[in-house]
């Protein structure tokens, strides 16, 4: 099945840890460089016409945004929007917001990863992500401070990329309901981890994820990115049963939120190119988007256009 003629990729990352001092954290994770030339090589014939660069956990969000702006201004990439890194719970969050806005006219939103489920252990026994030192959604001791920073996004016309665990989605829904003027997109299908392994579905995990996503779908200002699928179902691209299960999850999300609030994204390269963290090589860019196309081929053309391009363009104002 041929891939569509026009695609917007609303979630990818660039980094160069040898040259960029502000990327020392991801350098410590063993990452080297992934630059526009590598991205374009991986894209190949996939007709991606514009993209959104999402923060790659920089030490300084404004420096990263300025670097991406320099790449885009030089014509090295077709980044049309930037989601910058701002630690919203930190003292001085407003000044950091102003810095990222000043760094690039392409800044459209902010992300600060929130996945927390206990002390960080390298994501072995729990899905707590690096640099997430507390539960800013469920822990009353720090949630209020995070909400104060989050509320500033409305003042500056910025959106928020929400990345949290399924167990945090209900608390996140309560927070977002109090701020209906801040557009939000849930990253990576809600980041459920390994819902199916060895062809066995974890029904308890699925139920928890479904409850949270249903609560989110009730909020009209909340959107979803269908991405980082190897985290959700490791090895889906080489196993027909796993792919069928993953497709059912993606279609469930589209049905819950509607195509006008869903967008397909590559999450290239860090996670989309592997089956799971430290796992086997994942699908190629062409295979990924061909799968997307096949999964929704029966939907009306308007809905397909929304999933592959229009929703992202409208949400990020690009």
| Per-residue model confidence as pLDDT tens digits over 101-128 | 999 999 999 999 999 999 999 888 889 9
Is residue 271 very low, low, confident or very high in pLDDT (cuts 50, 70, 90)?
low
CA dist., res. 234 & res. 215, Å (int): 26
In this prediction, residue 31 has a pLDDT band, given cuts at 50, 70 and 90, of confident
How far apart are the C-alpha atoms of 267 and 2, rounded to whole Å? 21
Q: Distance between CA atoms of 227 and 262, rounded to whole angstroms?
A: 11
- pLDDT value, residue 224: 98
**Higher pLDDT residue, 252 or 273?**
252
* For range 267-292, the mean pLDDT: 76
Single out the residue of 144, 89, 135 nearest to residue 116, CA to CA. Answer: 135
Report, as an integer, the average pLDDT of 3-27: 94
Measured distance CA(102)–CA(149) in Å, rounded: 18
In a 10 Å sphere around its CB, with 0-12 CB exposed, 13-18 middle and 19+ buried, how is residue 220 labelled?
A: exposed
pLDDT at 68: 98
Give the span between the Cα atoms of 185 and 276, in whole angstroms.
22
Query: Contact, 66 vs 103, CB < 8 A?
Result: yes
| 3-state SS string for the chain | CCCCCCEEEEEECCEECCCCHHHHHHHHCCCCEECHHHHHHHHCCCCEEEEEEECCCCCCHHHHHHHHHHHHHCCCCCEEEEEEECCCCCCCHHHHHHHHHHHCCCEEEEECCCCCCCCCCCCCCCCCCCCCCCCCCCCHHHHHHHHHHHHHHHHCCCEEEECCCHHHHHHHHHHHHCCCCCCEEEHHHHCCCCCEECCEECHHHHHHHHHHHHHHHCCCCEEEEECCHHHHCCCHHHCHHHHHHHHHHHHHHHHHHCHHHEEECCCECCCCCECCCCCCECCCHHHHHHHHHHHCCCCCHHHHHHHHHHHHHHHHCC
Average pLDDT over residues 178-194: 97
Q: By percentage, how much of the chain surpasses pLDDT 90?
A: 90
What superfamily does domain 7-316 belong to in CATH? Metal-dependent hydrolases (3.20.20.140)
Q: Which of 134-143, 150-159, 205-214, 268-277 has the lowest mean pLDDT?
A: 268-277
Share of the chain above pLDDT 70, in %: 96
Domain ranges of the chain: 7-316
pLDDT recorded at residue 282: 84
Contact by Cβ (8 Å): 225, 263: yes
Q: How high is the pLDDT of residue 123?
A: 86
Length of the chain measured in residues: 318
CA 188, distance to chain mean position in Å, is 5
Average pLDDT, the chain: 95
Q: Is the pLDDT of residue 152 over 90?
A: yes
Q: What pLDDT was estimated at residue 2?
A: 64
pLDDT of residue 274: 52
Q: What is the pLDDT of residues 282-296, one digit of tens each?
A: 899 999 999 999 999
Phi and psi, residue 84, nearest 5°: -95, 160
pLDDT reported for residue 1: 62
What is the separation of C-alpha 197 from the centre of its chain, rounded to a whole number of angstroms?
A: 22
Rounded CA separation 230/259 (Å):
22
Instruction: Report pLDDT for 198.
Output: 87
Say what the pLDDT of residue 276 is.
Answer: 46
Closest C-alpha among 248, 192, 256 to residue 222? 256
């Amino acid at each position: 099945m041929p891939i569509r003629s026009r695609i917007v990729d609303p979630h990818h990352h660039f980094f160069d840890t040898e040259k960029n001092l502000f990327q020392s954290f991801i350098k410590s994770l063993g990452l080297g460089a992934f630059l526009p030339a590598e991205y374009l090589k991986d894209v190949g014939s996939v007709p991606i016409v514009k993209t959104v660069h999402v923060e790659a956990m920089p030490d300084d969000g404004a420096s990263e945004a300025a670097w991406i702006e320099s790449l885009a201004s030089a014509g090295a990439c077709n980044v049309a929007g930037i989601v910058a890194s701002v630690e919203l719970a930190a003292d001085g969050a407003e000044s950091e917001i102003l810095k990222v806005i000043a760094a690039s006219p392409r800044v459209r939103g902010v992300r600060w990863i929130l996945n927390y489920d206990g002390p960080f252990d390298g994501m072995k026994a729990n899905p707590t992500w690096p640099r997430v030192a507390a539960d800013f959604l469920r822990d009353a001791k720090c949630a209020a401070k995070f909400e104060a920073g989050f509320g500033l996004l409305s003042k500056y016309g910025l959106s928020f990329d929400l990345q949290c665990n399924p167990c945090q989605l209900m608390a996140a829904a309560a927070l977002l309901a109090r701020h209906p003027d801040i557009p939000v997109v849930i990253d990576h299908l809600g980041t459920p981890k390994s819902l199916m392994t060895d062809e066995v579905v974890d029904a308890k995990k699925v139920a928890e994820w479904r409850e949270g996503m249903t609560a989110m779908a009730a909020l009209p200002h909340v959107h979803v990115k269908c991405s980082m699928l190897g985290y959700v179902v490791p090895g889906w691209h080489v196993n027909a049963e796993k792919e069928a299960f993953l497709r059912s999850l993606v279609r469930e999300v589209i049905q819950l939120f509607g195509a006008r609030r869903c967008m397909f994204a590559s999450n290239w390269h860090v996670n989309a190119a592997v089956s799971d963290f430290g796992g086997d090589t994942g699908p190629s860019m062409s295979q990924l988007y061909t799968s997307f196309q096949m999964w929704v081929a029966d939907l009306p053309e308007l809905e397909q256009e929304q999933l592959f391009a229009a929703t992202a363009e409208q949400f990020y104002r690009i």
